[in-house]
Amino acid sequence: MARASRLLFIGLDAFEPLIMLKLVDEGLMPNFSRLLKEGSFTLAYSSPPCDTPTNWTTIMTGSFTGTHGMTSFFAHKPHGELNEGFSTLDSRVCESEFLWNVLEDYGKRVAIVNYPVAWPPTIKRGIVIGGPAPGASPWRVKWPMVYSNNCTTRDLNKCSPITIKEAEGWVNIPNSRSKPLEFEFTLTGEGPTAEQTPGWFIRPSTKLTKVPKYYALVINLNGAGYDTVIVSRLRDVSSPIATLKSGDWSGWIRDNVTVGDSSYEVAFRLKLVKLSNDASLIELYRSDVVLTSGWSAPVDLSGEITDALGPYVEGVECQPDLSSIREDVLGDDYFSIWLENIKYSIGWYSGLAKLLKDRFNWDAFIMHYHLHDSVNHRFLGLLYDKHPSYNAEYASRLWDFYREVYRLTDDFIGEMIKYVDEDTLIVLASDHGQVPAWRFIWIGDALIKRGLLAYRLEGDYYVVDWSRTMAYPFGHTTPYIFINLKGRDPHGIVDPRDYDAVRYEVIEALYSIRDPENGEHPVALALKKEDAEFLGQWGERVGDVIYFLKPGYSNVVFDFSRVHKRIVDGPIVRPLSDMGFWTALHHDYLPNAQVGLFTNEAFILMKGPGIRKGFRRDKPVWLTDLAPTIAHLMGVRLPRNNEGNIIADFLE
Ligand SMILES: [Zn+2]
């Protein structure tokens, strides 16, 4: 059998495979079309929870959740308080071996880029760029910001007001046909904080203690009204850091900021979104402010990459959505700025693959791209005609956006495969899909009513009372309920002899939940941990009871130990839009949940030596099957703890 000597692995988070097949049929995705003709394709089941850290780990280790222990974003700490946990966006807490370590054992030069569970690096000689996952970046100092003289109705943490006045004290001003104007701005706005991303990696301090100030001069160069903004560190036009006309992006602007006692070099970009002729409306978009170093192993590489391609902006493809700069802040420019960020990211990642190929001649390039997860959370549900916020006209605009997003993804894949040779195994895969959701379900109610879960009111919050709690939903996007067990848990009250009886009571309570509006049961499946072994569930980090919801319903409570009274005292079912921006989700559902064209299933597409051409599997495989299949095709051993099978019918 032919062996592959190199590997190009591109992970597409929450990519919707059925939408891709539809758009391939429409002729919009020529590179995917070619890969489907020249390679093998299958849908795949995630290992629950159908979430990001869990399944990028499953993909790279070949092991199920119970074995690798990466139970969603925040894992229960065994024997700790039942609400105690730790971030899984951290390679050190994975209990299985990664395929990239196996490849390195075989002398392969490995480059791992933006892979959620690859940081800190576990490989010794290869290259690791970033991780750990969108919104969790330890290298982001500030979220993006819009500077405007018209922030009136907008969130001031997303829109920073500027005052425009006559320019004073400037030198070297070019000949302006109207009286020169000026405004000032600084790197305002909050960076990511622990409250916004519970349990996720964040910088220890995002408070900038010393921030540079920038001066912007607004002038009329061509005589048809104000047309140019010149940004400078001083009121001196001879050394501008950006000269922008309406619609222009600046290059990367570098500066030093102080966080605590330390000084860091950061970089950001500007886009002049709007400049009206009379300067009565100015909108200046500022990208994330990110560190220009610290995100590469070896350490020195980040400087070289920043010089050649710009800095690593984790999740830049998800902007402006990730940053919460949404339509209410950016209006019509929202989608265009997003598409421009996607184009930037495509250039950066494909440029990086080439730069690292030239510099290090990698044998394996393994990367993750988060675009589709972000697009789907925000918009997928609005494509579904039974979603209560569905609007045919808006859905048609959204389909245009989706087509552009998938077309750009296809361009990206085209760029990435341009440089690979015939000995390279090309693998595209996703970690899960998404399905529409519009009903929030407060499952705590059913447990409280049966005396299984207890709270006491402290101010506006219900705080868990361990002395009366028999069953605790861990939350944090896990579908787990832990029994408060004597001898195991710090405040255990359930006698081990009653462990099973209490679990059956929990399961009954979950099945008893009914949506008062339509009589539906929101819980699709609830079972004891041992009964969920066929779903890869075992080990101390997995809950004693596991449950899955029906598509349409969601349970987005992060922390059940402290719940706002508006939830506990409110209706058990309410619009999901009350709880945040989600229109579609993945972690709540079974791996095969599907609603029309929208599926929670992942996919695998492979092309290269030893792979059948034009093969499409009828039934899904498990994502555990990917690592052993790659190992087999590359002639290396299986990762320790591998539990997957080689996808035999993919082989020539
Ligand atoms: Zn994901």
Give the pLDDT band of residue 194 (cuts 50, 70, 90).
very low
With vertex at residue 631, the alpha carbon angle to CA 627 and CA 637, rounded to the nearest 5 degrees, is 115
Give the pLDDT band of residue 189 (cuts 50, 70, 90).
low
Task: Check residue 152 and give its pLDDT.
Answer: 73
Task: Check residue 202 and give its pLDDT.
Answer: 41
pLDDT in tens, 400-439: 999 999 999 999 999 999 989 999 999 999 999 999 999 9
The whole-number average pLDDT for the span 463-470 is: 98
Determine the distance separating the centroid of ligand 1 and the alpha carbon of 373, expressed in angstroms.
6
Residue 598 CA: distances (Å) to CA of 50, 299, 560: 15, 41, 29
Determine the distance separating the centroid of ligand 1 and the alpha carbon of 60, expressed in angstroms.
14
pLDDT averaged over every residue in the chain = 92
Task: Check residue 197 and give its pLDDT.
Answer: 39
pTM score, whole prediction = 0.95
Task: Check residue 321 and give its pLDDT.
Answer: 73
Cα–Cα distance between 618 and 204 in angstroms, integer?
A: 48
Determine the distance separating the centroid of ligand 1 and the alpha carbon of 359, expressed in angstroms.
30
Task: Check residue 359 and give its pLDDT.
Answer: 94
In order of their start, the domains of the chain are 1-139+296-434+591-652 (3.40.720.10), 140-293 (no CATH), 437-585 (no CATH)
Determine the distance separating the centroid of ligand 1 and the alpha carbon of 182, expressed in angstroms.
44
Least confident of 185-189, 290-294, 596-600: 185-189
Cα–Cα distance between 517 and 347 in angstroms, integer?
A: 49
Cα–Cα distance between 49 and 46 in angstroms, integer?
A: 8
Least confident of 235-249, 316-330, 360-374, 580-594: 316-330
Task: Check residue 431 and give its pLDDT.
Answer: 98
Determine the distance separating the centroid of ligand 1 and the alpha carbon of 84, expressed in angstroms.
23
Determine phi and psi for 107, rounding to 5 degrees: 85, 10
Decide if pLDDT at 94 tops 70. yes
Task: Give residues whose Cβ lies within 5 Å of ion ligand 1.
Answer: 13, 52, 373, 431
Residue 139 CA: distances (Å) to CA of 53, 86, 313: 19, 20, 8
Cα–Cα distance between 430 and 368 in angstroms, integer?
A: 9
Task: Check residue 569 and give its pLDDT.
Answer: 96
Determine the distance separating the centroid of ligand 1 and the alpha carbon of 89, expressed in angstroms.
12
Cα–Cα distance between 505 and 14 in angstroms, integer?
A: 34
pLDDT in tens, 608-631: 999 999 999 999 999 999 999 999
The whole-number average pLDDT for the span 176-196 is: 76
Which amino acid type is present at position 574? R
Least confident of 157-171, 326-340, 419-433: 326-340
Determine the distance separating the centroid of ligand 1 and the alpha carbon of 632, expressed in angstroms.
26
Cα–Cα distance between 261 and 256 in angstroms, integer?
A: 13
Cα–Cα distance between 59 and 38 in angstroms, integer?
A: 22
Tokens in use for 130?
A: 């970033």
Give the pLDDT band of residue 198 (cuts 50, 70, 90).
very low
The whole-number average pLDDT for the span 426-453 is: 97
Cα–Cα distance between 377 and 595 in angstroms, integer?
A: 15
Which amino acid type is present at position 510? L
Task: Label the pairing between strands 85-87 and 455-458.
Answer: unpaired
Q: How many CB atoms lie under 10 A from the CB of residue 280?
A: 11
Give the pLDDT band of residue 454 (cuts 50, 70, 90).
very high
DSSP state for residue 459 in the 8-state scheme: T
Dihedral angle computed from the Cα positions of residues 479, 482, 488 and 494, in that order, rounded to the nearest 10 degrees: -170
Q: Is 274 left (phi over 0), alpha (psi -120 to 50) or beta?
A: beta
pLDDT in tens, 56-82: 999 999 999 999 999 998 999 999 999
Give the pLDDT band of residue 329 (cuts 50, 70, 90).
confident
Cα–Cα distance between 35 and 31 in angstroms, integer?
A: 6
**End-to-end CA separation in angstroms for the chain:** 8
Task: Label the pairing between strands 282-286 and 270-275.
Answer: antiparallel
Determine the distance separating the centroid of ligand 1 and the alpha carbon of 648, expressed in angstroms.
26
